[in-house]
Structure formats: structure tokens, C-alpha cells
Amino acid sequence: MTAGQRHRQPGRGSGRGGEQVTVPPADFTSYYGRPVLKPPVWKHDIAGYLFTGGLAAGSALIGAGAHLTGRPGLRAVGRWTALGGVAASTYLLIHDLGRPDRFHHMLRVAKLTSPMSVGTWILAAFGPMAGVAAVAELAPLLPQHGPLGLARRLAPPVGNVAGLAAAATAPALATYTGVLLADTAVPSWHDAYPSLPFVFAGSALAAASGVGLIAAPAAETAPLRRLALAAAAIELAGGRQLERLGLTGEPYGHGRSGRLVRAGRALLAVGTAGALVSRRSRILSAISGAALVASSVATRFGVFEAGRVSARDPKYTVAPQRERLAQKGPAASR
């Protein structure tokens, strides 16, 4: 093998859906085929966190919506799922660190240029609020009289305020993760920056609607069916751009990452359709809910994997940059 050899990538036409997306042939040089970038060292914890964080955010919104529209069963499901999601998120984020015992170093600074720092502070605001809102659901278990009786009476209003506060930060929690991935040199993540927050917002709402459809009383699930529809619209509209990125969109449509992304979309479509027609059937509702949850998991892992694929292959780094230089003109490429 010699370095500086030219790799030839045949032109590719993706003919799915009757739509021709042609990627120009990439002719590029590399150093012994080694990647230019370091692939992300984030483990699957982070893909899992993308899911649990989104689930927590969507559920907090559902909890607040249910509270404001008088659906106590759905409210409880939303609040507990939000707490469970944010607890799992915190665990996953800390577990992924190279030095988990230093997780609190994140709290030394607040930096707008670091989406991870911004996310830390969003989580720090969201987590306790989601926790208080969920624990307030335990008020009916307290005795009617005595000091605990006072807590029983105070808990619901405190929980309501906390629940609304959590819901206020929830959209930020669900969408900043799009910036978290995009603000890297990883070609497929960076180039997808206009889409990722929308894909993640839709995915978060889909997952949370799914859990609601599984766990909430059937009589209170009407908003969830509409929410699933809205989630699908947001995610599919945002996601349509992913494969249209050109070469760096390739991992979203090909290989294992592509299969995960496609599975996510198929499950989203099935789950949403199921949610819309399963009004009368508890079992069908639960199955639709499970499909929505599974869709979110598949999408998150698919997007995560697509980024790792694009960082490992020098083609995705070199070819688009060469193309950019060629567009700037011969003077720029020297």
C-alpha cells in the first residue's frame, strides 16, 4: 500500500422513492486510508442519552399539558416519565465521562460556545423541577392531618409550578442535543445542523407520546394521538433533509446507520397511524405507543452511528472540502 493513493468512489444514484439523488464521484487522496478526524469517543451512553433526554422533555410537556387541561392520569404518567428520563440521562451522561468522579467540573463554567455546557445547565434546571413535579404526585399517599397533612395540601400547587417550570425548559432540553452533535467536526453531524434539532424535537415528542399511549388511562390519550401526528410531521420534515446533504448525507441512508434511520422512520409512520386508529383498542394503542418509543430509539442510535461512520472514513472529510476549494477557485486551492 502506498500513501497518497487516490481512492475512486463510483458515482452513486439512490433511486428509492423514484427520486434521484446523485452524489458526484469522489476522487480523493488520503494518508494510508486513515481517518483525518478522530471518531467520537462517546459510547452508546450518549445515543441512549439522546433518547432518554428527549423522552424526559416530551413527557414534561405532556405532564404540563395534561395538568392545564385537567387530565390527572396523563399528568402523572408525564411527570413520572420525565423524572425517570432525566434520571437515566444524568446517569448515562456521567457514566460516559472518562473521569465520572469529576462530573461536577461541568458546573465550574457556563459557556455559550459549548453546547455541552449549555446542556448541563438546562439539565440542572430541568432535573430538579421534573423531580419535584413527580414527587408531588405522591401527595394523596400522605396522611390527611398533622405536619404531613400540610405537605399533602402544599404538594399539588408546588408540583404544578415545578411541572410548568420543567415544561418551560423542556423544548430547550430536547433540541439543544441537535446542536451538541452538530457543533463538531464530524461531517455528517455538522452538515446536518439545520435538521438535527427538528429531528430530535419530533423524536422526543414521539417517544413521550408513545409512553403515554402505553401507560396513561385510555380516556385521557386523545391529545397524545394528535401529538404523535405532529411529532411525525416535525421529524419527517426535518429528516428529509438528512440524505440530501450530498456525500455527508450518505451514512443516513446507507449501512447500519442508514438501516437504523430508516427503521426509525418506518416505526414512526406505523406508530403514528396506529395511534390515530386505535382509539377504541387499549392493546392496539399500547402497540402503537411501543412503535413510537422504538422509533425514537432507532432514530437516535441511527443518527449517532451515522456521525461515527462519517468521521472514520477520510472520504467524508476530504472530498467535500476539496469540492469547496474547487468552488472557491484555483487560487484558493493553490
Partner 1 sequence: MPHVNSLYGPLDPAPDAGYVDAPPRMGFFTDTSVCIGCKACEVACKEWNNVPGSGLDLLGMSYDNTGALTANSWRHVAFVEQPRSAGWATPAFDGTPDGPAVSPETAAVGAGTSTDTGTDPGLPPGSPAAAARMSGGPEFLGMPGAQPPGRGTGAEGRADFRWLMMSDVCKHCTHAACLDVCPTGSLFRTEFGTVVVQEDICNGCGYCISACPYGVIDQRKDDGRAWKCTLCYDRMGVGMTPACAQACPTESIQYGSLEDLRERAAARVATLHEQGVPDARLYGDDPNDGVGGDGAFFLLLDEPEVYGLPPDPIVTTRDLPAMWKRAGLAALTMAAATAFAFLGGRP
Residue 266 CA to residue 261 CA, distance in Å, equals 9
Residue type, 136: A
Our finding on whether 153 is near partner 1 (CB under 8 A) is no
Residues 237 and 103: beta-carbon distance below 8 Å: no
Query: What would the grid cell of residue 109 be?
Result: 463554567
Per DSSP, the three-state class of 12 is: strand
The yes or no reply on residue 109 touching partner 1 (CB under 8 A) is: yes
37 touches partner 1 (CB under 8 A): yes
Identity of the residue, 109 or 138, whose beta carbon is nearer to partner 1 in the bound complex: 109
Shorter beta-carbon distance to partner 1: residue 38 or 244? 38
Span 272-301, contacts to partner 1 by CB under 8 A = none
CA distance 103 to 173: 19
| CB of 30 vs partner 1, minimal distance in Å | 6
Cell of 104: 461536577
| Least spacing, CB of residue 334 vs partner 1, in Å | 5
**Shortest distance, CB of residue 99 to partner 1, whole angstroms?**
4
Distance of closest approach, residue 206 Cβ to partner 1, in angstroms: 11
Q: How far is CA 52 from CA 65, 167, 208, 247, 319, in A?
A: 20, 15, 10, 30, 35
> Which position has the grid cell 419530533?
202
Which x/- pattern, by CB under 8 A, does the window 52-81 give for partner 1? -----x---xx-xxx-xx------------
**What x/- string results for residues 207 through 246 when contact with partner 1 is judged by CB under 8 A?**
---------------xxx-xx--xx--x---x--------
Q: What does the alpha-carbon distance between residue 69 and residue 219 come to, in Å, rounded to a whole number?
A: 13
Minimum Å gap between C-beta 149 and partner 1 is 32
Q: Which of 24, 25, 72, 102 binds partner 1 (CB under 8 A)?
A: 102
| Cβ atoms of residues 275 and 209 within 8 Å | yes
Site for partner 1 in 171-200 (CB under 8 A): 171-172, 174-176, 178-179, 182-186, 189-190, 193-194, 196-198, 200
Nearest distance in Å: CB 272, partner 1:
12
Is residue 310 within 8 Å of residue 246, measured between CB atoms? no
